[in-house]
Structure 1
Amino acid sequence: MKLQPDKSNAPTINAHGPGWIEVNGEKHTQSVVVSSLDGVASWTWTPKHFNELSAQAFEELAQDGVELVLLGCGKKLQFPPASLLRPLISKGIGLESMDTLAACRTYNILASEGRKVFAALLIES
């Protein structure tokens, strides 16, 4: 089998535990967006819980160049109402909803493949 190096220098989600996620050695205890786009690493995301999601929260994620947003909903899988997703839909950006730990794992795989992806992770305490 021929191994090939990762196609990306994107930030990596290194570890996680109850109420925290570590991105490139930096521990986050509040909801965070991790980006594989060049020049953008991560930033604190406004919603703290699934019921705080709004169209404005998704507007923050509707940036040029993003192919896919992985929504980490917390401890359990939930689906946001379609009406909140209009900012993503209008730009042709896909959304996959999953629990936060699954979103962390999926982000690392897609980012290592060179995909342009955001992981919007709700961190519940």
Structure 2
Amino acid sequence: MQDISGIPSAGQQLINGYGDGGFRVSGVKYYGSVVVLPEKTLLWDVVAIANLSVESLNALNAADVKVEILLIGCGATMAFIDTDIRNSCRDKGIVIDAMDTGAAVRTYNVLLLEGRQVAAALVAV
């Protein structure tokens, strides 16, 4: 598992590590894909980026926090996100940035620690 370090504020969800089919977020191990919001982490049923849909991002709609940036960790390699998914998020004021999962984890931590309104939808690697 790749370790990531940083000091979050109380209650913030910092991603401590990833790999081996899961993630360690704020010291808790999650197996499979996850959606990480600034103050909570949810299991995510997307096992491959090909399964990504507007509906699979409904966890963001239920979030109590305003998300401005959504990082999508596509797995081992970056993939393009369909226009309908991008447009759906844009209509809610959310900008999507897609990259491989490792890069999304690192970027999420940096943006979170900067105080940005960021979330990450991460396909497990």
Same fold (TM over 0.5): yes
Match of 2:24 in 1: 22
Shift of the 93–27 alpha-carbon distance from structure 1 to 2, 3 Å rule, reads same
Q: Is the 8 A contact 1:8 1:113 kept in 2?
A: no
What secondary structure does 2:16 align onto? Answer: strand
Q: Which runs of 5+ in 1 are unaligned?
A: 1-5
- Identity, in percent, stands at 37
Structure 1 window deviating more from structure 2 (52-61 vs 91-100): it is 52-61
What secondary structure does 1:85 align onto? Answer: helix
After superposition, residues 93-108 of structure 1 pair within 5 angstroms as: 93-108=94-109
Match of 1:71 in 2: 72
After superposition, residues 1-125 of structure 1 pair within 5 angstroms as: 8-9=9-10, 10-36=12-38, 40-62=39-61, 63=63, 65-124=66-125
CA shift for structure 1 position 59: 3.4
Q: What is the RMSD computed on CA atoms of the aligned residues?
A: 1.8
Q: TM-score, normalised by structure 2?
A: 0.83
CA shift for structure 1 position 55: 1.2
Q: TM-score, normalised by structure 1?
A: 0.83
Match of 2:3 in 1: none
> Partners of 2:100 and 2:56 in 1: how far apart?
18
Match of 1:3 in 2: none
Q: Which has the higher contact order (CA 8 A, sep 6+)?
A: 1
Shift of the 66–50 alpha-carbon distance from structure 1 to 2, 3 Å rule, reads same
Q: Which protein has the larger Cα radius of gyration, Structure 1 or Structure 2?
A: 1
Q: Runs (4+) of structure 1 moved beyond 6 Å?
A: none
